Structure 1
């Protein structure tokens, strides 16, 4: 087993961080490019957002498949294969001239993008000692955040300077470097023991998770919050690109640095959950998300940026608490419970734009805020219901 602070530990951890960076940079590289795609292909904002939402949709649907396959085939070989698929599709996208081909390739890319997130922690669980695992997971998750910010900055700066295709070419080059480093650094699997595929057992476990009232509420809370949060960023790019703000694609890329307040929120969420309980912290995070969304109605650039900072802080408080609570609540098949949470999470990201678009068409940004607050208020109600169920079941020692 790989222990903490050994050469093998750092090789594996750095490899997984680079892989994570590559995954999340490729997911989010299109977000600052959405106004550019509207102008380039003469499409609507909702259609341009499809270049992002189709990716998160196919990613979400694919997550459960890789966990099952990796139990039978092995983690390392599948992670390398899927990362290679990401590289090939990114390179292919950089040469397309038709929006439909862009969407189809992004859909295929989502299938490959699901591989590493579905298997990375399982690989660490196989190969690392418990102490090393606890330390490495935190570092690995930092790669998610850096990748999300990095991809948006690459899209904003390279796309703004040289065009959207150049942004994908730059992303392909960075992905190639990450993939080579991943293959060279990641140690071969030594602790992995293949297990036969058992579809009935897997289906039974998933059904048990979905019908568990507390887990289902957590899935809905995480999915609906991301449903709103990530799509607010997509629509606000159109507000800031237009007059009176007239921000460039470069500046739109910088907008996503507001995500860094979410890193702070995630750090606080664990301590607050221990003190006040995870459902209370989820409710708090959602209320902060509502407050940040309403702040953007002031309309000035400063107010919008402040609102997004507040949004990010609140969202990640809720998300961190919800995802951790799912793992603690599931009594068996914890990995599939966590994967199911991510399925709801990414499917939420994929469908929120469809929900918000009628509000956008009717009332512009004010309409988007109204639609967002309606859903977020419902999430507050769900967190209240979760709090009641947890209190009731703890009272009778059910959980």
Structure 2
């Protein structure tokens, strides 16, 4: 197996980080364009938010397919082919004739984008020694944040020049070029042992994971936190696109630089967990996310940006450790266990608009904050349970 910080570790980790980066520039490129697309297609805030929701929902479904499938046929081919198809979908989005076709293409793109996230952490679990796995997962999730930032910044900047079509073309070309590099960098796992795919066995594995409380805690933590975190960014674009801020698409794209707080949190999460325990750090992450939401209630743009940065740090601290928690406690079928975590994660994202929309309509951004705190109180209780579980394991 690959040892921590060896040349083989760096090559494999950088390949997976690049793949993760490419997935998330495609997933999030429409987000800074939502106010513009809302006006162009004359749809509601909830309607235009479906461009994000349908992609994350179909991505979640794809995880149920690609995770178990990867346990049978291997993981490298799934990651390579789906990444290539995702870049092609971005190019097709640039030429979609109406809003309905945009939704259909985003549905398809979300499905193929699920290929790499479904199996990447399981690939690491097969190929890396345990200390190497913890370090690699932190960097991999840090690449998620960089991809999310870049997709929004590139999308916003390109839209200023040539509209939303230019944004999709720019991201599509970036993806195809990056995909060629990814194919060359990613090594084949030497420790993978394929199992014959059996639909019944796949359902049995999933049912086994869902009967394991220590895994369910991580699944719910990731899903609920992401429901709040990612949809706050959608609604903040509507808040900042109107007076007194009136930010254009490029300015809204730059707001997502606050994700750098999450990049930093992901890269240090492994070290923090070794010092304070994963559950304690996840609890701290939820508390930080609640505090950052409070800061965004201020009308100052500087403090709004600060609050979003705090939110990103807290969310990705908890998310990084919840992901590795699944890899640590899953008993067999790691591919389906990791995929199931991401199913909860992205289903949460797709449902966030339905949860937060009534709060937005009723009280604007203040309502969004209250809607966020209600669910974050639930995840705070989940982390308390995980902490008690850790203490019992030590005893």
Q: TM-score of the superposition, structure 1-length normalised? A: 0.90
Provide structure 2 residue ranges, at least 5 long, that are not aligned to the other structure.
Answer: none
Partner of 1:257: 257
Deviation at 1:20, TM superposition (A): 2.1
Q: Render the CA deviation track for 1:213-243: whole Å, top value 9, x for unaligned.
A: 2221221111101110110011001111110
Shift of 1:66: 1.0
Residues 140 and 366 of structure 1, relative CA distance in 2, 3 Å threshold: closer
TM-superposed deviation, 1:188: 5.4
User: Which residue pairs with 1:115 in the alignment?
Assistant: 115
> Aligned partners of 1:380 and 1:130: how far apart in 2?
27
- Structure 2 residue aligned with 1:387: 387
Instruction: Quote the offset at 1:74 in angstroms.
Output: 3.0
Cα gap change, 1:283 to 1:332, in 2 (>3 Å): same
Choose 275-284 or 210-219, whichever is displaced more: 275-284
Per-residue CA deviation, residues 148-193 of structure 1 (Å, 9 max, x unaligned), is 1111111111112220111001111111211222334444566554
- Asked if the contact 2:142/2:262 (under 8 Å) is kept, the reply is no
Matched residues in 2 for 1:284 and 1:188: separation?
37
TM-superposed CA distance for 1:359, in Å, is 0.8
Q: Render the CA deviation track for 1:253-272: whole Å, top value 9, x for unaligned.
A: 11111111112223443344
Q: Taking structure 1 as reference, are residues 313 and 251 closer, same or farther at Cα in structure 2, changes over 3 Å only?
A: same
Q: CA deviation at 1:206?
A: 1.6
> What's the offset of the Cα at 1:78?
2.4
- Deviation of residue 123 (structure 1)? 4.1
Q: Aligned to 1:244, what secondary structure does the other structure show?
A: coil
- Structure 1 residue 13: deviation in Å? 4.6
1:25-44 equivalences in 2 (<5 Å)? 25-44=25-44
Which residues in structure 2 correspond to 1:194-273 (within 5 Å)?
A: 194-273=194-273
Q: Pick closer, same or farther for the CA change 1:383–1:96 going to 2, 3 Å.
A: same
Cα distance in 2 for partners of 1:340, 1:261 equals: 26
Q: Shift in Å at residue 92 of structure 1?
A: 1.1
SS state at 2:297 partner? helix
1:352 matches 2:391? no
Q: CA deviation at 1:328?
A: 2.1
For residues 68 and 223 of structure 2, the distance between their equivalents in structure 1, rounded to whole angstroms, comes to: 22
CA contact (8 A) 1:323 1:341 kept: yes
Q: Identify the residue that residue 76 of structure 1 maps to in structure 2.
A: 76
Tell me the residue number matched to 2:372: 372
Alignment of 1:99 onto 2:65: no
Q: Would you say the 8 A contact 2:87–2:172 is kept in 1?
A: yes
1:368 is displaced (CA, Å) by 1.0
Aligned to 1:144: 144
- Name the counterpart of 1:284: 284
Cα 1:191–1:172 shift into 2, 3 Å = same
CA distance in structure 2 between the aligned counterparts of 1:98 and 1:119, rounded to whole angstroms? 34
Quote the Cα distance in structure 2 between the aligned partners of 1:389 and 1:133: 22
Q: Determine if contact 1:214/1:390 at 8 Å carries over to the other structure.
A: no
Please say which of residues 190-199 and 15-24 is displaced more in the overlay.
190-199
> For residues 326 and 333 of structure 1, what CA distance do their matches in structure 2 show?
11
Alignment of 1:12-27 (within 5 A): 12-27=12-27
Distance 1:210 1:255 in 2: 37
Q: Matched residues in 2 for 1:354 and 1:157: separation?
A: 29
Superposed CA RMSD: 2.5
Counterpart Cα distance in 1 of 2:139 and 2:268: 17
CA deviation vs aligned residue, 1:51-71 (integer Å, no higher than 9, x gap): 111111111111131122223
Q: Closer, same or farther in 2 for the Cα pair 1:129/1:68, shift >3 Å? A: same
**Separation of aligned partners in 1, 2:329 and 2:228:** 25
> Given the two structures, how large is their TM-score scaled by the length of structure 2?
0.91
d(CA) in 2 for partners of 1:251 and 1:350?
A: 25
Residue 90 of structure 1 deviates from its aligned partner by 1.2
Matched, 1:179 2:179: yes
Change in 2 beyond 3 A, CA 1:142/1:283: closer
